Amino acid sequence: MTRKLFGTDGVRGHANVHPMTAETVLRLGAAAGRYFRRDGSVAHRVVIGKDTRLSGYMFENALTAGFTSTGMNVLLLGPVPTPAVGLLVRSMRADVGVMISASHNPHEDNGIKFFGPDGFKLSDDAEAEIEAIMGGEIAPSVAANIGRAKRIDDGLFRYVERIKSTFPADLTLDGLKVVVDCANGAGYRAAPQVLWELGAEVIPVGVAPDGTNINDGCGSTNTGLAVETVVANNADVGICLDGDADRVMIIDENGQVADGDQIMGLFAARWANDGRLAGNTLVATVMSNLGLERYLDGKGVSLTRTSVGDRYVVEAMRQGGFNLGGEQSGHIVMTDYATTGDGLLAGLQFLAEMKRTLKPASDLRQAFEPVPQLLKNVRYDASSQPLETTQVKSAIADAESQLEGTGRLLIRKSGTEPLIRVMAECEDETLLHKVVDAIVAEVENAA
């Protein structure tokens, strides 16, 4: 079964433009409700969270109407981090969880992510089945079985307590000055509260969401504000989250940024040394730096690569019995604690390492020397196929020939935006820029 509506991380697009319209999302909720009520029984429940986008109100109501029309009872969490949905769908014994968010995208976009009753994101096959149901007649419930909706006021509190419990019981954050950038997104309340309750002096930024400023000049994809704040306040460390708080970037006291690869390298080495890295393996995607792979090899740790998308990382982790994985973009997945990437959780683990070793963030920020890597994005018309043109194929083949034995090339379509991502790694930076620019030029011409 194929998927057209779902991408690498649920359904995503421009708000009020297909597929992210109220009508489509209502139908999506009804199809998901019918999928999870296939046994025909009653008393099924769905947990719905959202980030701080203005369009979240519209989609929350549309999903509620869709789910209740098929007999599902809806539990509304309001603005919470994505990992809170993965946590609460299990603790509340729900059949499905939904997060309304477009993650790191601008406020004009929004998306729908589904979690199964085990707290993990749905498989490709499950999403394909829901999409197939949308294509046919969706049987509504009889009037007596229409679902109810209830707002859960303490969902955020439950998440806060769970996250605090992952921090080592013998440590506190006393004496640490921490900048936390919440991207004006879903973590704007939880993150400062957790850090403060654990003893840190907290300097929050990106904590004034207005519906349209999520990820705007802040957060994990725009670290400049946090860097300036860390340096200006002589802070010990900065934690940058994205719009739904499932990604993180770490900033040391000098304003230098650590991406997901560096954070995973630090954690993998520590866990392997402590004998707690399951299978002595880290799971990452094809985007992770070659330097990470070399570093882990030197530590006797294996690296398993997957397709881009934290859901594929998690699938590989579950299949292999591994407990640590993630993406260069900042998704850090620790299945000992959570079912999906959690930026705040990863940030706390970094702070715990600072406290445990008594080392500054600058000593922990760079686990390995990265191989020079260049990534450029080309926006294209979704109806076109620029990667299928003869000129683009020829440019890619030429680049692969030039990089053979010295680097690697990765070309892919984004699963969340109409972008073609052109990435290469090579020790020779002149060659690196040459091959990437050549491909980008041809893709732009074709697009």
Cα–Cα distances in angstroms (integers) from residue 339 to residues 86, 331, 334, in the given order: 6, 12, 7
- Which H/E stretch holds residue 413? strand 407-413
CA gap 33, 141 in Å, rounded = 10
CA gap 80, 283 in Å, rounded = 27
* Residue 126 CB-half CA count within 13 A: 17
Structure tokens at 43: 């008393």
CA gap 158, 81 in Å, rounded = 12
Annotated catalytic residue within 55, 69, 103, 302: 103
The answer to whether 264 touches 332, Cβ cutoff 8 Å, is yes
Name every residue whose Cβ is closer than 8 Å to that of residue 136 and which is 6 or more positions away in sequence: none
103 is catalytic: yes
Residue 306: phi and psi, rounded to 5, are: -130, 175
CA gap 266, 350 in Å, rounded = 9
Beta strands in 122-226 (DSSP E): 149-151, 177-181, 201-205
The answer to whether 443 touches 386, Cβ cutoff 8 Å, is yes
- Which H/E stretch holds residue 22? helix 22-36
Three-state secondary structure call for residue 349: helix
Cα–Cα distances in angstroms (integers) from residue 206 to residues 159, 202, 291, in the given order: 20, 13, 32
CA gap 431, 435 in Å, rounded = 6
* Residue 427 CB-half CA count within 13 A: 5
CA gap 256, 365 in Å, rounded = 8
Per-position DSSP letters for 315-346, written without gaps between them: HHHHHHT--EEE-TTS-EEETTT-SS--HHHH
CA gap 239, 196 in Å, rounded = 13
CA gap 65, 29 in Å, rounded = 8
**Which residues are known catalytic residues?**
103
